[in-house]
Amino acid sequence: MNLTTKPLTEHFGAEILDLDVRKAQDLGGEILRLLLEHQVLVIRNQELSARDFVDFARSLGTIKPFLLSNYHHPEFKEILITSNEKVDGKPLGVARVGNFWHSDSSYIKDPANTTMLYGIKVPPTGGDTLFASTYRAWDELDGGLKVKLHNKMAVHTIRKRYKVTAADVGFSLREIDDQLKVKVPDVEHPVVRPHPLTGRPALYVSEGYTLKINGLDAQENADMLEYLHEYMTSKDKVYAHKWRVGDILLWDNPSLIHAAGPTDPNIPRTMFRITVE
């Protein structure tokens, strides 16, 4: 079966046309090839059960469990539910996730390559998912900065985005931070990271999880990370995905950063999310 695509932007992203993923279990390798080529893929007009979504994800590779385990699907632990809805007064899923620029799970040693979202309930406006290509960011970076950043390592940490929970009551902020350092230790990744599957270099820093670049002093770090963030997410480099019910969105974490755009908390929005190694 030949897959037909059309571009989402001039530089990256593609829509796969006229595909029912329930009948595409033998096309996982081809879809992964297209993902590595285009970085973002959208497949529209799907009608999937939770099992269908898991089966499709498995056709692409090994599913990687989420660090966040509070809101797994009750039957399929591979799925994280992101939702602002409540059932019997209890949250159906995690309401706010990824509303800052980041590459998924860069705060662990071996981050997942692929993230998938399936749109179940989608508000009529808002809630866009924003993407910026870090391949392109590296390719177009000033030559002097390329020399400065080449072979540098950066520290990534979940501590920049940790939210205090009820379980933390009674502990000081310092104690909470120290506990988190043990539970999810900081990690280092190359600032210019070769893609694990393609070998192509990409900038691998983000506003969300990069704490510092080794070898730069505090002020240099602040200035560099601020500059890189503004450069990587300038409007001419960003694709904003406008959701429809039934969309499957797949993205390649090693070559992108992304962010969840704001949405009205009073309008239902529910997604299924899976990551693949």
Q: Rounded to whole angstroms, how far apart are CA atoms 7 and 256?
A: 17
Same domain? For 8 and 58 the reply is yes
| Confidence (pLDDT) at 265 | 87
* pTM recorded for the entire structure: 0.92
Range with lowest mean pLDDT among 65-69, 91-95, 202-206: 65-69
Say whether both 260 and 160 belong to one domain.
no
| pLDDT, mean over the chain | 91
Co-location of 29 and 16 in the same domain: yes
Query: In degrees to the nearest 10, what's the CA dihedral of 226, 232, 238, 243?
Result: -70
What confidence tens digit (pLDDT) does each residue in 160-191 have?
A: 666 656 566 566 667 666 666 777 789 999 99
205 and 268 part of one domain:
no
Supply angle C-alpha 275, 277, 235, rounded to 5: 60
Secondary structure of residue 77 in the 3-state scheme: coil
What confidence category does residue 156 fall into, taking pLDDT thresholds of 50, 70 and 90? Answer: very high
Please tell me whether residues 263 and 222 are part of one structural domain.
Answer: no
CATH code assigned at 63? 3.60.130.10
Residues 202 and 245 in one domain: no
What is the domain count for the chain? 2
The region, left, alpha or beta by phi > 0 then psi within -120 to 50, assigned to residue 177 is: alpha
Tell me if 104 is assigned to some domain: no
How far is it, in rounded angstroms, from Cα 110 to Cα 169? Answer: 31
51 and 179 both lie in a single domain: no
What residues make up the domain containing 201?
A: 134-232
Whether 187 is covered by a domain: the verdict is yes
Q: Is residue 105 part of a domain?
A: no
> 78 and 20 share a domain?
yes
Same domain? 252 vs 224: no
Provide the pLDDT for residue 1. 67
